[in-house]
Chains A and B, each alone.
Chain A
Amino acid sequence: MVTAALTRARRIRVPLWELLDPRGHGPAMAWSAALALVAAVVARALGWPLWQASALAIGLMVPVFCAKWLADRRRFGGTVTVLGILVVLQGFHGLEHVVQWIQYHILRWPSFISSGLISAANAEWVHFVWNWGVAATVSWLLWRGMRNRWMWALLVWALAHGAEHTYMMVRYLQVLDEFRALGVSGVSAQGLPGFFGRDGWLATSPLTQETFLCRAPGVTTAVRLDVHFWWNIGETTLLLMAAHVQLRRTGPPSA
């Protein structure tokens, strides 16, 4: 009965899953994942910080993923492969935000320790570069013909997300400049509010003070960690929908 159900499930065609399927790299991927897990546990046991253990684990899996993507390029071409890479990397980026959310809301860690698996990467410039990287990649995919309404929505979302990170990045750099002018060193400006969320621009601007906007639930009340959790949940969801629709429309990757 279970076998029959699995057989039926395999017959349901999800082209995105076919793209992500490790195919011939399955055993290598499983082994590298197991090795990464063991290495991370040992590293933690040796007292490494979480982000170093996580980075080690990811590093151990990179070669296998690279091998798969090179094979994908030969099989599906560059555009589809880039879409696959984007899905994996944005998926991991989204996972980082999910981990932050769990650390803060479930594990009850302090907000500035709830930095995901690779806390060292929870830096203003990393988010800035990453989000503009996503927007640029989506633009390239559109240019390469991957056009559907989900992809367009993803572009709008990614541009808005990138714009908020630009606002935060600019403020971050301006505060560092102010620090230099004040002779302050060794103090980070990471974590300032952005456009949305609690204490963000929309909540504090004189332009919104007499309107409902300045205290709109969630939009101007959520903490920064929650705001960017939802940015990334939205971005990942739109990406998955765009990829799914596109791959269904253009036929199976294996075709």
Chain B
Amino acid sequence: MVRWRARWTGGLAALLLMTACGATPAPAAVDEPVAPVQLRAAALATPATCSAGFVPHALEHTTRSGAQVAAVYESNGAGVALGDLDGDGRDEVVLANLAGDASLLWNRGALRFARQALPVTQARAVAVVDVDADGRSDLVFTRRFEKPLWLRNTGLPGDARFSAQPLPDVNNTFYSMAWADLDDDGDLDLVAASYDAEQLKHQGQIFTQRGGIGVFVYWREGATFRAERLATAAEALAIALVDLDGDRRRDIWVGNDFNVRDQIWLRAGAGWRAGLPLDSMTENTMSLDWGDVDNDGQFEIFASDMKPVDKDVATMARWLPMMKKMTRPLTSDDPQHAENTLQIRGGDGRWRDQAYERRVDSSGWSWSAKFGDLDADGSLDLLVVNGMIARGLFDHLPGAELVEPNMAFRNRGDGSFVVAHDWRLGSTASGRGMSMGDLDGDGDLDVVVNNLESPAMLFENQLCGTRHLTVAPRMPGSANPLAVGARLTLRLTDATLVRELRSISGYLSGDPAAVHFGLPPGAVIGTLRIDWPDGRVSVLRDLAPGQHLQVAAPS
């Protein structure tokens, strides 16, 4: 029988408004082992304002390149992560920086933030991960020319909260990273990959002689990591840990820049098998994200690249000089194309690109791209942040900057998209990292963008008439307390929504440890099934919309 105990003392701020709703964890009619859960429900805050769009707020952080005008590689900016670092139930915002301190913006509620400078410079990716599984979320940064840095959360208030240390036995310089339990042993493994072109520019001939860095899997073994090298070279701007061959085990997709084909390793037994189950792919993969855009229960995978949205004369004149410089001749049977891809898995197991047909093939000079049900209609929308500043590449433009708006694509309900100009997300502030999460406790997805050379922005979701259910799965006492990799299936009257909790996605940007469901008007919630990363399953019934659920499955 299911236990139903309110045991959380972790300080959900929303407790103030909490209503213990009548959700009933029910016995799961499934074959997998059933996980008994403890459930805490809190009512979501009522949105203060409704303005049919997103409202921008400048944040107290600017990512600087360190140059008067950024050159290539400095141009790539840095990531952002969302996560609850003090256990108050509100996600903090962590912004990486290149030439300056990173910023930790403590969430004080009502979109008020208190900045704490983190002495981490030359940072690229950032993720909120409980590395030591002590129940306190830590921060991990990759850095341009140094090993990844682990800011271990000690739980002490103030500056002493974090203890900076390297990840044990992670001894290379990496650009991108991702965390998941790859060997089903219950703990989080790390996949990290390098951006060799930047190292070559920095180190010169020495790097050439030494060879590339490549792609590594770091298997978690107790308190340390064991390295397994999968490739000796990479130009990795993004990594996706997602099942690509339908065996319910996570595979590795490394997205490479500079016409270097993406690398894919499929889990085979206890090892890996390199493969490329794609008919076409991006030429310069800038970010990777996956989500069920057509609500068929299978994830689709989006990769962003560089292709102008408008083909008008002025736009083409801005782009063409760069395209002539950067474009390498690729034969017509090369799977790479310089445009976004939306990979959809066919019955034969092959992935086929449908981005052009579904109208998301071009979004500009794109960086972080993520799915999220921004308008809470039950279908995942897509947000892509854009822009480029590069001395030597765009010298023909003022400030060497290609000014481009961020692009929001509204899902039409069938997995095809249309540009949502009316959402007012088209900032032209040269975005790089981007993440989505509910930062004001009203359930909808707000957006944080880490721009280059201009203040980071928070876009408050003020779309009207939306309904939500947010779920934070937890596995207290396990080696994966944030339940990274949990798969949540919400059955509604006429739709089934599948979401997954992951550590990082898009471009260099960590995701919050909560899952968001937008609820279409009139939809009634049936059941919520949670497939826990350890193979157990829980099914919850009698859920009401407008709640934030903390669902704990103690190990």
Contact = CB atoms under 8 A, between A and B. Distances in A.
Contacts of B418: 209-210
B329 A113 contact: yes
Interface string B286-318: 000000000000000000000000110110111
Interface stretch (A35-43, A44-52, A103-111, A115-123): A103-111
Contact of B313 (A109, A178, A198): A178
Interface residues on B, range: 20 to 34
Nearest to A215: B357
Interface string B307-348: 000110110111011001000011111000000000000000
B279 to A, nearest CB: 15
Contacts of A184: 317, 321, 396
A229 interface: no
Contacts of A2: none
Given A113-B329, A198-B356, A182 B316 contact: no
Contacts of A105: 332
B52 to A, nearest CB: 20
Given A175-B316, A179-B317, A187-B320, A108 B331 contact: yes
B316 to A, nearest CB: 6
A110 B329 contact: yes
Interface string A179-207: 10111100111001100001111001000
Contacts of B397: 182
B108 interface: no
Contacts of A112: 329
A171 interface: yes
Given A193-B311, A215-B357, A187 B332 contact: no
Nearest to A172: B313
Interface bracket on A: 20 to 34
Contact of A108 (B314, B316, B332, B362): B332
A79 interface: no
Interface in A4-52: none
B115 interface: no
Nearest to B398: A182
A195 to B, nearest CB: 11
Contacts of A171: 313, 316
Contact of A199 (B311, B313, B314, B324): B311
Given A182-B397, A184-B321, A187-B324, A174 B313 contact: yes
A189 B316 contact: yes
A209 to B, nearest CB: 7
A221 interface: yes
Contact of A188 (B311, B314, B324, B357): B324
Contacts of A182: 317-318, 396-397
B330 A110 contact: yes
Contacts of B317: 175, 178-179, 181-182, 184, 189
Contacts of A183: 396
Interface of A: 104-105, 108-114, 171, 174-175, 178-179, 181-184, 187-189, 192-193, 198-201, 204, 209-210, 214-215, 221
Given A179-B317, A182-B318, A187-B320, 4 more contacts: A175-B320, A181-B317, A189-B316, A215-B356
Q: Which 8 A-B pairs have the closest CB atoms?
A: A178-B317, A110-B329, A174-B313, A108-B331, A182-B396, A108-B333, A184-B396, A187-B321
